[in-house]
Amino acid sequence: MRGVRSHNWEVILDRARDLHAAFRARFYRPPTLRRLHYELSSDASAVDAGYRNELYDYKALSTSTAEGRRNGSFPDLAESARYLSRDRAFASAQEIRAYVRGLVRTDRMAGQTQSICVVVEKAGSRDFLHDWFGQYGVFMTALGGYPSQTLIDTIRAAQQRDGRRMLVLYAGDHDCSGEDIDRDFQSRLGVEGSIQVRRVALLPEHIEHYRLQRSPFDKDDTRARRFIQRHGGLWQTELDALDPDELRQLFEAEFFQVWDMSVYHQRLAVEADLLRDVLGQGEPTQTTERETIDLTDETSLDEVPFLDLYMHGLRVQEAISRRVQPPLEQLSDDDPW
């Protein structure tokens, strides 16, 4: 009976608020409900208060946090399927120029030996792909379960237009359905060796290595027997149970085996020239090694040589995205570190 185990929901929700704040500080966005569930079921204080990786607890968390969001006692959660949109507006020419600098780009995959597509099974992890790989101009998508034929055809058409071999890096759940989604995706996507699908997560060894939680798999699935034969039991481990930073490391370990950073930086230099022409600014010049760019004084932006400003922004943006400090020799005294 569910009533045998008691829950201290005051403690659980206090920990949920703390974990929410910590997640937002790390990733600059709120967690999804599912992500918060896994954070709580791995947290010692929440577990001591009765929280478990069970459907009952997940539904109760959904009800409690929804009530808290209505009365203002709990912060917002991320929503991957529904969102409100509006075209952006601008108040000044300077805002427009700043927007164009961030918008215009060339094909950043040009010159690489193959095109790359990074894929997750569930839409809740898709925004992380944009954080990690958006700057490189690669293809990105979420399957949302078994992929539709429309998505399969779209990926195949993209590879055919491009002409190069495509490497698809994929991460999904570890359960009998998740493994079959992987099989179905590869079998329908593979076209005479022109598209290679490489699963980066979750692999069976990841469950033990990252100490991921195994949830009961209580769905009626005809593939359950084969899963038991391969793995010695029946369970479900969702991709959401893996910390996003660890998932990023798994993706990047495969990505940077094939991605040529020198070619990528050549493409960035081409973009700087293109943007200079679009914005109608003068010829770009290079600053000396000790000259600095003061980005704290907005009135000085238009006085900075354009190529220097653009490449400075790209360098800082890339460093922030990777959340590592650039080498000291690449920083001026005014860089925001």
Say how far apart CA 44 and CA 50 lie, in whole Å.
Answer: 10
pLDDT digits (tens, 9 = 90+) for 289-314: 334 444 444 444 444 455 554 555 55
For residue 331, is pLDDT > 50? no
Judgement on whether residues 198 and 142 belong to the same structural domain of the protein: yes
Judgement on whether residues 252 and 118 belong to the same structural domain of the protein: yes
User: pLDDT band at residue 318, thresholds of 50, 70 and 90?
Assistant: low
* Rounded (5°) CA angle 306-307-311: 120
What's residue 49's pLDDT? Answer: 95
Judgement on whether residues 275 and 230 belong to the same structural domain of the protein: no
What's residue 274's pLDDT? Answer: 83
Judgement on whether residues 218 and 143 belong to the same structural domain of the protein: yes
Mean pLDDT confidence for 41-62: 93
Judgement on whether residues 192 and 139 belong to the same structural domain of the protein: yes
Q: What is the mean pLDDT of the chain?
A: 81
- Which of 226, 258, 290 is a domain's end point? 258
Q: In what helix (H) or strand (E) does residue 119 lie, and over which residues does it extend?
A: strand 115-120
- On the 0-12 / 13-18 / 19+ scale of CB atoms within 10 A, 169 is buried
Judgement on whether residues 247 and 291 belong to the same structural domain of the protein: no
Q: How far is CA 144 from CA 80, 138, 141, 147, 148, in A?
A: 11, 19, 9, 7, 9
Say how far residue 129 (Cα) sits from the centre of its chain.
Answer: 3
Residue 247 sits in a domain whose CATH number is: 3.40.1360.10
Judgement on whether residues 306 and 182 belong to the same structural domain of the protein: no
In a domain, 153, yes or no: yes
Mean pLDDT confidence for 314-332: 46
For residue 25, is pLDDT > 90? yes
What's residue 258's pLDDT? Answer: 96
Q: Which two tokens stand for residue 56?
A: 């009952």
30 DSSP assignment: P
User: What is the number of domains present in the chain?
Assistant: 3
β partners of residue 174: 237
User: pLDDT band at residue 17, thresholds of 50, 70 and 90?
Assistant: very high
Mean pLDDT confidence for 224-233: 77
What's residue 281's pLDDT? Answer: 57
For residue 46, is pLDDT > 70? yes
- The answer to whether the CB of 200 falls within 8 A of the CB of 171 is yes
Sign of the CA dihedral with 177 first, then 178, 182, and 183 last? negative
Judgement on whether residues 131 and 170 belong to the same structural domain of the protein: yes
- The answer to whether the CB of 307 falls within 8 A of the CB of 284 is yes
What's residue 317's pLDDT? Answer: 54
Q: Which is more confident, 12 or 316?
A: 12
User: pLDDT band at residue 154, thresholds of 50, 70 and 90?
Assistant: very high
What's residue 206's pLDDT? Answer: 94
Say how far apart CA 154 and CA 138 lie, in whole Å.
Answer: 14
Range of the domain at 41: 7-71
In a domain, 86, yes or no: no
pLDDT digits (tens, 9 = 90+) for 72-100: 999 999 887 777 788 889 999 888 888 87
In a domain, 299, yes or no: yes
